[in-house]
Chain A
Amino acid sequence: MSESKSEISIEALRLGDRREFARLVDAYSGPLYRLALKMLGNATDAEDALQNTFLKAFQHVNTFEGRSSLSTWLYRIASNEALMLLRKRRPESTFSDMSTEDENDRNFDPVQFTDWCCLPEEELLSAEARNALDRAVEHLPETLRIVFVLRDIEDLSILETSQVLGLSETAVKTRLLRARLRLREELSSYYSDRLNKRSKE
C-alpha cells in the first residue's frame, strides 16, 4: 500500500470524522480486498472479511497506538478476519493434519526438475496460467498462504509481515521459503504440461 495513504489523519479518525473514515476505506480497500480474496478464494467471503475489517478498525481506532503503521494495523485486522473465516469453514479434524504437514521439512524438498523458464511470456501469464497461479496459492496451507500473500503479493517486508502476524522474522522466513517451494512445485507441474503440449503442436 502506498502513496497518499500516509495523509490519513489518525487524529481525525479518533475524533470520529466520517469523511476521514471514507478516505481510509478508499485508500485501503483495494489491497485488503485482494488479500481476503487470495486467502479465501471467493468473492462473497472476501467481501465479508473486508466489511468486518473496517467495522473493527472503526470500533478500535482509539486503541491504535501508532507503534506500527496504519497499514500494518489494517493488514493485521484483515489477516485475522480471513483466518477466522477459514477456521470457521474447516472441519475440526483437519487441524492436526495441517500443523503436522507444516512442521515436516522433507515435504518441501523439490521433486520437479523441468526447466520451464524458457516458455514465452504470453504463455507464462496467459489467462489459464493466471488461474493456475491463483489455484496454487489456494492449495497452500493457510499458515504458509498468509505469509506468502503479505510478503510476495502485498509486498510487505519480512519485518512488517512479522508484525502483522505476531511471528518472529525467522518464522516468517521459514514459512515464506516453504510457500515459495510449494508454489514452484505446483507451477512446475502446470508449466511442464504446457511445454509438453507445445512440443507436440
Chain B
Amino acid sequence: MSANNQSQCQSLLVFLSDFVDGTLSEELCQEIKSHAAECEHCRIVVDTLRKTISLYHECADEPAEIPGEVRSQLFKTLNLQDYLEPNEGDR
C-alpha cells in the first residue's frame, strides 16, 4: 500500500471476503483486479487471503469424527448405551 493509493486500498478491503468467495458484483471485482494489478501489497493481501481460506477448507474437508472413547462416554451420559453400535471405522 503506497501513500498515494492507501485510501483506495482501505476502501477495497471491506469487499475482499466477497471477492474471494465469488459473491461480489462484477463491477467491484474489476475494480479490485485493476487495483491489485498496480498495487503489489494489495495483490499479496488478496492472494494470501485466498490461500488462508483454502488451507482451512482443505483441513475441514477431512471427515469430522469423534474419538471412540468420547463417543462411548457420550452414549453412556445420554443413557443410549443400548444403541451403541460400532462406528464404520471401528469395524
> Which residues of B are in contact with A by a Cβ distance under 8 Å?
1, 10, 13-14, 16-18, 20, 40-41, 44-45, 47-49, 51-53, 55-60, 63-67, 70-71, 73-75, 77-78, 80, 82-84, 87
Contact = CB atoms under 8 A, between A and B. Distances in A.
B55 A22 contact: no
A22 B59 contact: no
B78 to A, nearest CB: 6
Interface residues of A, number: 45
A180 B53 contact: yes
Given A109-B10, A177-B16, A29 B80 contact: no
A176 B16 CA distance: 11
Given A26-B87, A110-B1, A153-B60, 5 more contacts: A25-B78, A112-B48, A124-B55, A125-B58, A153-B56
A33 B64 contact: yes
A75 interface: no
Contacts of A184: 45, 48-49, 52
24 contacts: A21-B83, A22-B80, A22-B83, A22-B84, A29-B71, A33-B64, A33-B70, A47-B70, A47-B74, A109-B10, A109-B13, A110-B13, A110-B45, A112-B48, A113-B44, A115-B48, A117-B47, A153-B59, A155-B60, A177-B14, A180-B49, A181-B49, A183-B56, A184-B49
B17 A177 contact: yes
Given A18-B82, A21-B78, A154 B60 contact: yes
A107 to B, nearest CB: 12
A25 B80 contact: yes
Nearest to A176: B17
